[in-house]
Structure 1
Amino acid sequence: MSSSTLKRWLRPEVYPLFAALGVAVGICGMQLVRNISGNPEVRVNKENRAAGVLDNFAEGERYAEHSLRKFVRNKSPEIMPNVNAFFADPK
Structure 2
Amino acid sequence: MAAPTVNRWLRPEVYPLFAAVGAAVGICGFSLVRNICINPEVRVSKENRAAGVLDNFAEGEKYTEHTLRKFVRNKSPEIMPAINGFFTNPK
One fold, TM greater than 0.5?
Answer: yes
Structure 1: where are the runs of 5+ without partners? none
Following superposition, which runs of at least 4 residues in structure 1 exceed 4 angstroms of deviation?
none
Equivalent in the alignment of 2:83: 83
**CA–CA distance in structure 1, aligned partners of residues 80 and 18 of structure 2:** 28
Q: Pairwise CA RMSD of aligned residues? A: 1.0
State the distance in 2 between where 1:15 and 1:89 align. Answer: 39
AA partner of residue 15 (structure 2): Y
1:56 aligns with 56
Q: What percent of counterpart residues are identical?
A: 78
User: Which residue is 1:65 aligned to?
Assistant: 65
The runs of 5 or more residues in structure 2 that have no matched partner are none
Compute the TM-score of the two structures, normalised by the length of structure 2: 0.95
Q: Per-residue deviation at 1:90?
A: 3.5
Aligned partners of 1:84 and 1:19: how far apart in 2? 28
Report the equivalent of 1:24: 24
